[in-house]
Structures are given as structure tokens and as C-alpha cells.
Structure 1
Amino acid sequence: MTKHHVHSTHPALVARLKRADGHLRAVIAMIEAGKPCIEIAQQLHAVEKAVVNAKRALIHDHMEHCLDTEHSEADRAELRSIARYL
């Protein structure tokens, strides 16, 4: 079982996800109100990007703070670089 841990960046990540949640709720309301599909698609794209960016921030934070010290800074930089493609 993994142990519970909180990073200093987690509160900002939670705030970012709460904003994305509010945005998603607004998109749902747009659909229910019959707004044009192009507007809905545009807003869904924004929500998707917000969630992807939150995921990327979480993964980068994990790589910075949770990898063992036997990994060099170059290794961590390479991992951060490739994580952009997640």
C-alpha cells in the first residue's frame, strides 16, 4: 500500500482542477441549453487542456520530489521532457 503524502504543489493543483470542474459544469449547462456545437467543442477543448496540464504538473512534481536520489538531474530532466507526450 502506498503511503499518504502531500507535496507543496498539491494545493495549487487542487485549485486548478476545481477551476476545470467549474468549467466542465459550464459546458454541461451549454449542452443542456442547446448552445451551438462549435462553441461547446471549443469549451470542451479548453477543459481537456486544463486537465492535461494538471496531469502533467502532477507527474513533473512527482518526478522532482519522489524519484530516488540515485537518479541524476539529467535523468530527471529527460523524464520531464518525455512526460510532455503523456
Structure 2
Amino acid sequence: MTNPPFHASHPALIARLKRADGHLCAVIEMIEAGKPCLEIAQQMQAVEKAITNAKRALIHDHMDHCLDAESSEADRAELRAITRYL
């Protein structure tokens, strides 16, 4: 079995996702503690944004390191622009 690709950005991505995981656990605790829905919704929005940003960083890293070497910088820039709609 071959090793999966590992990029220099992966440790930072892992750290970002672990922070998001911690925040999600805190949201669950807020619900269990009966905190106000507004506070819960705000924290859920923060978790969602953190995961979205992590996904975007992963996709950008993939584009920078895994696209075909023959891809032009213009192609890469266009792909980066498209990912903001994911």
C-alpha cells in the first residue's frame, strides 16, 4: 500500500480542524446546558466558518501541489477563484 500524499500545510490544517472540533464539542455542551439559542447559533456559525475555511485551504493546497505540472498559473488562479463558491 502506498502512503497518501502529505503536504507541508497538513499539520496546520489538522490543528485548525482540531480547534473546530473543540468548538463543536463546546456547542454540544451549550445545548446540553440549556444555553440561549442565539448564543448556540452564533457558535455554530463560527464552527461552520472554521470548517469552510479549512476546506478552502485544503483545496488551495491541492491545487498548488497536485495539479498537473503543465497547468499554467492562469489556470491555477482561475481554479482558486472558483473555490470561493464551494
TM-score, with length taken from structure 1: 0.96
Unaligned runs of 5+ in 1: none
Aligned to 2:62: 62
- The letter of the residue matching 1:30 is M
The percentage of aligned residue pairs carrying the same residue is: 78
- The letter of the residue matching 1:73 is E
- The letter of the residue matching 2:17 is L
**Structure 1 consecutive aligned stretches of length 4 or more whose deviation exceeds 3 Å:** none
Aligned to 1:14: 14
**Change over 3 Å in CA distance of 1:27–1:11 after alignment to 2:** same
Aligned to 1:50: 50
Aligned residues: 86
Distance in 2, Cα, partners of 1:75 & 1:10: 23
Unaligned runs of 5+ in 2: none
Aligned to 2:29: 29
